[in-house]
């Protein structure tokens, strides 16, 4: 989706200026500022409908498109149920609950969930500033939903803990949050100093205060971003100067782990970035309109 096309979608969702037929189908209206998602030309015209979806024809590129073309929502059907499904995601309910509430197939509910979250994965609109807390945690490597497991590994009981002695069975995850609730997260391929620096440094505003445990990776991050660094190494002293601590980020980590382990009954590692994005946005009071808006990419 082009920037101009995305702006049309955003404005349509926020102001409800969209074509709504008797079934409640949401369709953003394209205007003179919109562009063809194939060649970015603004010379196009209406070109019939596919079901209830308005199609357009580009006079320059000679291709047809609709408001979903080249977005994560391309080729998905039953658009009139997306708003209701976005309400389900806002409440973070399970797939079976969402499928029953929206009267859709369980596989459809699964597909929609991950298409809706694709655009948000790895996207951080705000930088971290002020007092910033950071920590890492580990989750058990999971291939939930796979018909066959890699050779040499026995199946674990759902939600079971991975061996702490085997790095291949643990997935390191980085989570950082400031006092304004802006959050940065990421699944790391390895828990190394270089990877933590690469992932975290671009998202930190200089002259902030970085609070961390004793890991040396954060010493380098603070130095490179010109931040004051508060290392909470002692198990006794958990708060410095009555303000510097990592309790907020540790609370967020506990909340996330409880949500994916208990409510979602574990998640496949390949989809972990999607669940982190979902958790991050819900932590900032993400509503159903914003979920639907961000799904367009």
Mapped onto helix, strand or coil, the DSSP state of residue 113 is helix
- Cα(71)–Cα(67) distance, integer angstroms: 8
pLDDT value of residue 197: 92
- Cα(35)–Cα(37) distance, integer angstroms: 6
Picking from 24, 26, 23, 45, the residue whose alpha carbon sits closest to that of residue 36 is 45
What does the block give as tokens for 297?
A: 């990419």
- Cα(140)–Cα(162) distance, integer angstroms: 5
- Cα(268)–Cα(145) distance, integer angstroms: 7
pLDDT value of residue 1: 53
The whole-number mean pLDDT for each consecutive block of 10 residues of the chain, a chain of 297 residues, reads 56 47 47 78 86 85 86 82 89 90 94 87 85 94 78 59 60 94 90 90 94 91 94 80 92 93 88 91 71 73
pLDDT value of residue 35: 84
pLDDT value of residue 3: 57
Tell me the residue length of the chain: 297
DSSP 263: I
- Cα(52)–Cα(14) distance, integer angstroms: 22
Q: Are 255 and 262 in contact (CB under 8 A)?
A: no
Q: Are 220 and 197 in contact (CB under 8 A)?
A: yes
| Domain residue ranges in the chain | 1-70, 131-286
Q: Are 136 and 257 in contact (CB under 8 A)?
A: no
Mention the CATH class of domain 131-286: alpha beta
pLDDT value of residue 2: 56
Q: How, if at all, do strands 209-212 and 228-231 pair? A: parallel
State pTM to two decimals: 0.76
Q: What is the pLDDT of residues 30-47, one digit of tens each?
A: 665 678 888 888 888 888
Q: Tokens 């669940």 identify what position?
A: 275
pLDDT value of residue 78: 86
DSSP 242: T
Q: Are 180 and 285 in contact (CB under 8 A)?
A: no
Q: Are 31 and 45 in contact (CB under 8 A)?
A: no
Q: What angle do CA 135, 141, 145 make, to 5 degrees?
A: 130
């Amino acid at each position: 989706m082009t920037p101009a096309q995305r702006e049309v979608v955003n404005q349509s969702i926020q102001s409800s200026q969209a074509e709504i037929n008797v079934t409640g189908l949401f369709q953003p209206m394209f205007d003179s500022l919109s562009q063809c998602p194939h060649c970015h030309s603004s010379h196009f015209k209406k070109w019939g409908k596919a079901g209830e979806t308005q199609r357009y024809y580009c006079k320059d590129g000679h291709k047809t498109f609709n408001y979903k073309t080249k977005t994560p929502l391309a080729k998905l059907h039953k658009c009139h149920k997306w708003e209701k499904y976005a309400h389900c995601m806002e409440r973070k309910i399970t797939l079976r609950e969402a499928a029953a509430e929206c009267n859709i197939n369980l596989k459809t509910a699964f597909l929609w969930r991950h298409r809706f979250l694709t655009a948000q994965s790895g996207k951080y609109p705000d930088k971290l500033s002020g007092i910033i807390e950071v920590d890492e945690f580990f989750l058990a490597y999971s291939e939930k939903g796979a018909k066959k497991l890699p050779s040499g590994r026995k199946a674990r009981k759902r939600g079971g803990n991975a061996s702490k002695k085997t790095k291949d069975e643990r997935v390191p995850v980085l989570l950082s949050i400031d006092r304004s609730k802006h959050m940065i997260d990421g699944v790391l391929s390895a828990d190394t100093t270089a990877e933590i620096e690469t992932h975290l440094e671009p998202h930190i505003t200089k002259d902030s205060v970085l609070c961390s445990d004793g890991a040396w990776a954060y010493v380098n991050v603070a130095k490179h971003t010109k931040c004051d660094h508060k290392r909470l190494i002692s198990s006794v002293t958990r708060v410095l100067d009555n303000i510097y601590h990592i309790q907020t980020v540790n609370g967020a980590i506990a909340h996330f782990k409880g949500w994916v382990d208990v409510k979602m009954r574990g998640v496949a590692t390949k989809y972990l970035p999607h669940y982190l994005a979902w958790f991050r946005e819900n932590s900032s009071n993400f509503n159903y309109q914003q979920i639907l808006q961000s799904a367009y990419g």
